[in-house]
A and B are shown apart, each in its own frame.
Chain A
Amino acid sequence: MNADIAIFSAVSITPQTIQELTSILPLSRHTVYKSVERLSRANLLSKQRLGKKVLLSVGRGYNTAKLQEICIKALSRGIDPDQLLAQSKRIARIADLDVVSARQVQERTGLSLPAAYRFMKLLETFGLAKIESMRPVAIRMLRSDELFKALLAIERPGEEKIPLELEERPYLQRELPPEELERRLFTNMVTRVPFAIDGTSFVTRGQGKLELLTSTRNETIEEKFMRLLSTPEGVEDACIRMLRTNQVNYEQLLQLARKRRMANVVGCYLDILHGIDEQLIPKSVVDLYKADPAGRRHAVFLKQLKLIGKDVSLSRYAIEWNLELYLDLDGIAHGVRST
């Protein structure tokens, strides 16, 4: 095993002093010192002086944490971490495929056919793929494997999905898939950028604009709309912003609302918005929901705002849609005006 990987792996398991490393690893003192210097310069190791000794621990940062995870997991599976890391770029090139043929490996990695077979065999040995068929040879990638995910994390820089921003806000919202959000946590912790995780009460303070990190889910825009419609901020802000994008499909939204027995809740909300801004929600959309035969099951719309009581000006909507409404009409109107 390469000295750098051996030292990093040892420190990944538990922090060590340089003296301890020279006594437990089959490496010369000179090699250990040189390697520690290299790893420290790369921010993979951090040094802390303890009297006459120097304690080494794993450095900070997302990639370092992932590398630590890879080393420990690889060793636990009986794999040499450096052998695995040597293949990580190739693995990343085929990682989006479920089933991979030798031909695809060739095309994507530039390996010769025999080398492609060897690479596929190696992936099976690493526990990152399993044989799908022998003629033609194909492997199934085990993408949900923890080691696989960690390898991809260090090979694939995150791509941020910039949300549609309808106005300048006192925070920056970043919608990221969980793996990317995890990377951001490390980055922000190191750079001291203040951030909060949407939906939790975890907040950090610091200089600059707060980053509100929202973990994206595997859901359609209509599903997201339905989820946000059950929160005050969704009703007064996020749902309106989504409607402004013109990406919401009202037919699909109706289907979904019907399935969840909430067609009248969505219809009522769109009706209220139509009352505020006819351009945002045209009458034809409201009519679509009014004509829906799914019925008007009695429900409470926005239970969370029960504490502020009913807005009498909304009673017309409450009767028409058979709902108990706890909405702040001015809050919604404010949202419509400012988005």
Chain B
Amino acid sequence: MTVESLRALPEAVKQRIEDQSLRVVDKIWSSSIAFVLIGGWAVRAIAGPEHDRYTFDVDGVVDSQSRYSELEELLREEGVKPSFSAWGCIFIKKLELPEDLLQKLDKDQAAFVSEKCQIKLEFSTPRIYTSDGKHFFEFPMDKYQDRQVLSRGSFAGHAHVALPEYIVASKLGISDWKNIYDVGVLCRFARQEKVVKVIRTCDNWGELVRRKIVRFRQEAEGKMKGTAYTLLKAKNLDRGYAAYLKELQTQLTRGS
């Protein structure tokens, strides 16, 4: 979602945006398109209320590039505009807010919502590459959970959600604060042995994770100050995280 000051928007508006985003997820689930949800909505589906932020954008993988045109067809009536890149495709969906909600906004907010707020739907094929193209992670299209996902508004949707072990394994390859935080939230749902097994199925992803996990550990042990650690500590999710990562690192090193 392209936003400048979402925080200033009334809760009812943010809830409506979430509803619209999740409605798209549900629409894809109802179709025959092979689609697995990853990203923010997947973390919400798995962690539930622990994932306490609004999720507007949709990230998912489809089994082949030919699905992009099917998605385009399916989402046409949603008024989306697709754009294609080397790694996948992005659909931009314009927001539709009912008159009663628009009236709750002041002039600046209304202009901001109508001109800048969009829902970004990003799809790629199951194999996701790092920026240098030297490492990849692959989400299997046949391993997912069929889950109900609740928006913070009023919508309950369904989706094929990637298994937590796959989401954790993919996130361990990028060591920024968002991934350090997400892994902290998800670690109670993903067993280390399975995560290690998943990492090993992806060529040299393990080599990347072995490097990056050091930073995850530094933050989880409080040796490096960061937002992720602060958030986890405030939510009482920090306990056990450092040990989880240590064990993960041990198992990864053992087999390498």
Contact = CB atoms under 8 A, between A and B. Distances in A.
A168 B131 contact: no
B233 interface: yes
Interface stretch (A107-115, A231-239, A247-255): A231-239
B10 interface: no
B5 interface: yes
Nearest to A311: B132
Interface string B214-228: 110010001011110
A309 B54 CA distance: 34
Contacts of B173: 330
A162 B226 CA distance: 21
Contact of A308 (B56, B132, B211): B211
B178 A162 contact: no
Interface residues of B, number: 42
Contact of A331 (B56, B176, B224): B176
A328 B174 contact: yes
Interface in B216-247: 218, 222, 224-227, 230-231, 233-236
B107 interface: no
Interface in A123-172: 162, 164-172
A305 B215 contact: yes
B177 A171 contact: no
B181 to A, nearest CB: 7
B235 A205 contact: yes
B234 A330 contact: no
B6 interface: yes
Interface in B49-77: 51-56
A194 interface: yes
B225 A199 contact: yes
A173 B193 CA distance: 36
Contacts of A237: 176-177
Interface string B11-35: 0001000000000000000000000
Nearest to B182: A170
A312 B218 CA distance: 22
B231 A307 contact: no
A162 B8 contact: yes
B254 interface: no
Interface in B121-179: 130-132, 134, 173-179
Interface in A202-217: 203-205, 209-210, 212
A321 B225 CA distance: 28
B234 A334 contact: no
A329 interface: yes
A294 interface: no
Contacts of B54: 168
A203 B5 contact: no
Contacts of A328: 174-176, 212, 215
Given A209-B52, A210-B231, A236 B131 contact: no
B100 interface: no
Given A169-B53, A233-B177, A304 B230 contact: no
A335 B179 CA distance: 11
Contact of B234 (A203, A276, A309): A203
Given A169-B53, A328-B174, A328-B212, A210 B7 contact: no
Contact of A329 (B4, B55, B131, B235): B131
A316 B80 CA distance: 38
A204 B233 CA distance: 8
A204 B235 CA distance: 9
B234 A210 contact: yes
Contacts of A166: 3-4
Contacts of B174: 328, 330-331, 334
A308 B215 CA distance: 7
Interface in B169-197: 173-179, 181
A118 B234 CA distance: 53
A201 B222 contact: yes
A284 interface: no
Contacts of B56: 168
- For A170, A209, A338, the residue with the greatest tally of chain B CB atoms inside 10 Å of its CB is A170
A99 interface: no
A118 B95 CA distance: 62
A212 B231 CA distance: 9
B97 interface: no
A233 B222 contact: no
A334 B176 contact: yes
Contacts of B131: 276, 313, 329-330, 333
A210 B178 contact: no
Nearest to B55: A168
Contacts of B132: 311-313, 329
A308 B175 contact: yes
Nearest to A199: B225
A326 to B, nearest CB: 11
Given A166-B4, A167-B6, 6 more contacts: A165-B8, A168-B1, A203-B233, A212-B227, A335-B176, A338-B178
Closest 8 CB pairs of A and B: A313-B132, A331-B176, A170-B53, A168-B54, A330-B174, A165-B7, A196-B230, A210-B234
23 contacts: A164-B4, A164-B5, A165-B5, A165-B7, A167-B6, A168-B7, A170-B181, A171-B230, A194-B234, A196-B234, A201-B225, A203-B230, A203-B233, A232-B215, A233-B176, A233-B227, A236-B177, A305-B215, A308-B175, A308-B214, A313-B134, A330-B176, A334-B176
